[in-house]
């Protein structure tokens, strides 16, 4: 079941042949940019998705299906066809990333934290946290340039059911998982994100929910260096700073973090030792922690794109060089939460996986950049 033959059957080579670059990506400054969208179905049911694109534009996806299984999906850019398979039991958030060879790696939470890796021939699944402490909520996975896996998760309780509520981190060293607590501040990391940079250094963004802080940390080889990015009362009266945060590093190695504060979608940008914070959109929550979720990518010009939920509506916010623009990707419906994830390929095609608001199916929205004359009608249409 876990072999490669079923996945890659009918696809020549390790991955599919690369599509030609999309034409007309560079347009005159006088014209506005917008994204036109189409959708396709990935699976008849799916939630808790995580999506990434490889160097050739093929898509890799992890998600939980309706039967309580963690699934892996692959979509060749050349064919647009999805192949999926079961990895293990699981009914919660997963996270997927790729190593330098383009092989997928997945973490997922199902009472314990598990790590699944594909070596080019077969999948291998192993547990990380096995001390009988309850693990829930989310995890994150990153792979260093030498192939070393890094996994983070929120540990809610101890083995005796007493509360722990801290962000944990593990790195595989000499075939042994070395586990550390990132931050012992009050309730840290229920929402968190991780990136491993080109030097193999892990970087984390996470919330300190009780105090109302958004934090950023990196490992300096001996300890976690922790910085406060945003805090309660800094820019508004919002109470819960840092929910649903997503972290990336730009071309200069500076961090950018998208997140909710209970009232707004925000973006924090690192500038050396300081942080600037801007409001992107005003939002309304549905009341569950899973509704506070963002994904963040940069296009080839370095402009930010954020996917996020607003009272069950899935939105795409993008910076056009002068202002933030907002698009509705999927409306609210009887299924309240979208569980979305976003990625972008080298052609600046954007992909967002999400649960359909009506039938619970797993959908993929595909956005392509196009030239659009700047008019008053255009401005009104994008805001509606």
Q: What pLDDT shows up at residue 347?
A: 95
Residue range 269-283: mean pLDDT, rounded: 96
Query: For residue 17, is it within any domain?
Result: no
Q: Is residue 1 one of the residues assigned to a domain?
A: no
Q: What percent of the chain has pLDDT over 90?
A: 76
13-27, 88-102, 169-183: which has the minimum mean pLDDT? 13-27
Q: For residue 108, what is the domain's CATH number?
A: 2.120.10.70
- Helices and strands, number each (H, E), in the chain: 2, 28
Per the domain annotation, does 271 fall within a domain?
yes
More confident residue, 290 or 227: 227
Residue 350 within any structural domain of the chain: yes
Tell me the residue length of the chain.
Answer: 384
Query: Residue 288 is part of which domain span?
Result: 28-383
- Both tokens of 9, joined, read 């059957």
Sign of CA dihedral 86, 89, 94, 95: negative
Q: Average pLDDT in the 325-354 region?
A: 96
9, pLDDT greater than 90: no
Find the mean pLDDT for residues 70-79. Answer: 96
In the prediction, which pLDDT does 149 show? Answer: 98
**Within a domain: 22:** no
Mean pLDDT, the chain, rounded, equals: 88
Whether residue 296 is predicted with pLDDT greater than 90 in this model: the reply is yes
Higher pLDDT, 58 or 156: 58
User: Does residue 21 lie in a domain region?
Assistant: no
Rounded mean pLDDT, 36-45:
97
User: 79: which 2 tokens?
Assistant: 């064919």
Please give the average per-residue pLDDT across 230-246, as a whole number: 88
Contact 267, 281 (CB under 8 A): no
Instruction: Confirm whether 11 is domain-assigned.
Output: no
Tell me the average pLDDT across 254-267.
96
Q: Look at residue 375 in the predicted model and tell me its pLDDT.
A: 54
**Residue-level pLDDT at 239:** 83
Buried residues in 112-148 as b, exposed as e (16+ CB within 10 A): bbbbbbbeeeebeeeebbeeebebebbbbbbbbeeee
Q: Is 88 inside any structural domain?
A: yes
Which region, left, alpha or beta, applies to residue 156 given φ > 0 means left and ψ of -120 to 50 means alpha? Answer: alpha
Domains of the chain: total: 1
């Amino acid at each position: 079941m876990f072999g490669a033959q079923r996945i890659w059957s009918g696809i020549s080579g390790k991955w599919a042949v690369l599509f030609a670059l999309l034409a007309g990506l560079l347009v005159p400054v006088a014209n506005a940019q917008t994204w036109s969208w189409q959708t396709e179905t990935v699976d008849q049911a799916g939630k808790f998705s995580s999506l990434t694109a490889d160097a050739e534009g093929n898509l890799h996806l992890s998600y939980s299906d309706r039967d309580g299984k963690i699934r892996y999906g692959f979509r060749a850019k050349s064919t647009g066809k999805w192949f999926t398979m079961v990895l293990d039991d699981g009914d919660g958030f997963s996270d997927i990333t790729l190593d330098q060879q383009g092989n997928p790696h997945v973490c997922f939470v199902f009472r314990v934290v598990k790590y699944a890796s594909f070596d080019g021939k077969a999948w291998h699944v192993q547990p990380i946290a096995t001390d009988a402490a309850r693990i829930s909520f989310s995890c994150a996975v990153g792979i260093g340039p030498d192939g070393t896996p890094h996994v983070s998760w929120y540990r809610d309780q101890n083995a005796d059911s007493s509360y722990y509520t801290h962000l944990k981190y593990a790195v595989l060293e000499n075939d042994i998982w070395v586990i550390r607590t990132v931050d012992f501040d009050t309730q840290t990391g229920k929402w968190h994100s991780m990136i491993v940079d080109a030097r193999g250094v892990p970087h984390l963004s996470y919330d300190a929910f009780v105090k109302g802080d958004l934090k950023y940390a990196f490992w300096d080889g001996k300890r976690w260096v922790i910085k406060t990015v945003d805090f309660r009362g800094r820019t508004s009266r919002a109470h819960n700073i840092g929910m649903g945060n997503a972290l990336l590093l730009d071309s200069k190695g500076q961090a950018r973090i998208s997140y909710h504060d209970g009232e707004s979608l925000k973006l924090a940008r690192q500038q050396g030792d300081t942080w600037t914070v801007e409001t992107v959109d005003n939002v309304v929550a549905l009341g569950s922690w899973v509704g506070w979720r963002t994904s963040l990518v940069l296009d080839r010009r370095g402009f930010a794109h954020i996917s996020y939920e607003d009272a069950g509506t899935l939105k795409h916010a993008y910076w056009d060089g002068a202002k933030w623009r907002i698009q509705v990707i999927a409306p609210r419906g009887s299924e309240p939460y979208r569980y979305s994830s976003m990625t972008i390929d080298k052609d600046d095609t954007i992909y967002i996986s999400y649960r359909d608001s009506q039938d619970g199916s797993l959908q993929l929205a595909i956005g392509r950049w196009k030239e659009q004359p700047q008019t008053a009608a255009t401005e009104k249409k994008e805001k509606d």
